[in-house]
Amino acid sequence: MYSNIDNVKVIGIAAAVSEKWDSVMEVTNESQEVLKRFVKKTGVEGRYSASLKQTTSDFCCAAAERLLTEKNINREDIGVLVFVTQMPDYRIPATACVLQMRLGLSNNCIAFDVNLGCSGFVYGLNILSSLMSTSSARYGLLLAGDTSAREFSNKQKEKIGHTSELLFGDSGTATLLERSEGDSLSFMSNTKGSGFRAIIAPYGWYRNPESPDGRIHYSVMDDIEVFNFATNEAPEQISSYMDKKGTTSADYDCLVLHQANLMIMKRIAKKTGFSEDKMLVSMNKFANTSSSSIPLTLVYTYGDSEENKSINALCCGFGVGLSWATVGLSVNKKDILPLVHTSEYFKDGYNLDDLEENNND
């Protein structure tokens, strides 16, 4: 699907992580030599992980609070909230509703969750901006992220050491859109459902409620299928996008890819005519943060800049689904906020006492 939405603009991006950064070199049950090779091969030096009580929504909430406060936004004017995650707080209701409450948004602000991972930021932005364009909302808020570091892969057949857990990091991001005459956003998105097994967390939900070994919270990834998919389909989509827009790599200040793995990213950059110095990298510090990775990379690169200068970022997210999407973003460096660190979590989220008291059917 190719879509174009007029009169919307990204006016703020923020990202939050925990206060706990784990370094690869400090992993205790592997030799230093194996660890050095891991860092060299994957590009990951370490990552942030959530505390046991923190969920994705806590990070998104922290990022959104910072964004809305810094930009002095009237929360009554936010008309749409979309929360993209594969790790919601509860089965039901949608965590977006909880976030609507936590951020003090009005009842006129609609809120729902979208279940997507690595392509989620771009897809989420597409859904958000489309809804904004059919309403009179002044602002829309996209919250995206995952706490993937909590999981681990069950890869008995592969020689993966304990370091595989360090391939994923936790984060939550907030992106603010505003109605803006003359600006626009264009998206190209695709889905290949036949690749659904390439990245899958199969157990614990409704197709396979029981897991053979009792563990339900883990994902499995077919590295090779994902690598081939990412290095073929993503560059093709990026090139089609640029053809459609009549642009080339020269028209963009940077290429911001989902931070899956350095080899994949370099290959995509090469195939789309982007030099490596235009390709932004943040996975060294954050590892793979799922739908957070694109906005988090922008925050990592430009968050500390106070420069009043607009940059053109070509962003492409690709992964679970299989699903992939590209967008060209024009955003001012000063609207990209410095990284937020938080140890906060939603305490009332654990308080279920009132479920017992109020239930008087």
Partner 1 sequence: MTEQEKIALIEETLDLDEGTLTADTVLDDVDEYDSMAKLSLIVMMDDEFGVKLTGDVIKGFKTVGDILAVMN
Partner 2 sequence: MSFFKSNGIGIAGIACAVPKNNVTVDSFTPVFGEEVTSKFTAGTGIKAMYKALPEQTASDLGVAAAENLLSKLDIDKNEIGAMLMVTQSPDYRRPSSASIVQKRLGLPISCSCMEINLGCSGFIYGIQTAMSLMNSSDMKYALLVMGETASKLVDPKDKSIVMMYGDAGAAVLLERQADAKTTTLLRSDGDRFKAIVLPAGGFRDMTPTHERFMCSDGIERSLYDIFMDGTSVFSFSITDVPQALKDYLEKTETTAEDYDAFVFHQANQFIIKQLIRKMKLPKDSVPISLDRFGNTGGISIPLTLCDAYGDKNEGKKNALMCGFGIGLSWGVTNAVIDFDKVFPIIETDDYYKEGKITPEML
**Rg of the chain over CA atoms, in angstroms?**
20
From the CB of residue 108, how many other CB atoms can be counted at a distance below 10 Å?
12
Cα distances from 258 to residues 7, 103, 289, in angstroms, run 26, 27, 8
Q: Which is nearer to partner 2, 147 or 282 (CB)?
A: 147
Q: Which is nearer to partner 2, 301 or 323 (CB)?
A: 323
Among 110, 263, 284, 334, binds partner 1 (CB under 8 A): 263
- CB of 289 within 8 A of CB of 15? no
Least distance CB 158 / partner 1 (angstroms): 5
> What is the Cα 167 distance to its own chain's centre?
15
Contacts of 169 (CB under 8 A, 6+ apart): 17, 47, 48, 49, 148, 149, 286, 287, 288, 289
Contact partner at residue 250 from partner 2, partner 1, none, CB < 5 to 8 Å by partner kind: none
> Which range in 85-93, 121-129, 205-213, 226-234 contacts partner 1 by CB under 8 A?
226-234
Largest CA distance in the chain: 64
d(CA 323, CA 235): 13
Residue 20 as a binder of partner 1 (CB under 8 A): the answer is: no
Least distance CB 146 / partner 2 (angstroms): 9
Contact partner at residue 98 from partner 2, partner 1, none, CB < 5 to 8 Å by partner kind: partner 2
Q: Which is nearer to partner 2, 79 or 235 (CB)?
A: 79
Contact partner at residue 261 from partner 1, partner 2, none, CB < 5 to 8 Å by partner kind: partner 1
Q: Which is nearer to partner 1, 161 or 202 (CB)?
A: 161
Per-residue binding string, partner 1, 38-57, x by CB under 8 A, is ---xx---------------
Residue 94 as a binder of partner 1 (CB under 8 A): the answer is: no
Residue 158 as a binder of partner 1 (CB under 8 A): the answer is: yes
d(CA 295, CA 121): 8
**Collapsed DSSP state (helix, strand, coil) of residue 183:** strand
Binding-site ranges for partner 1 (CB under 8 A): 37, 41-42, 155, 158-160, 222-225, 227-228, 231, 261, 263, 267
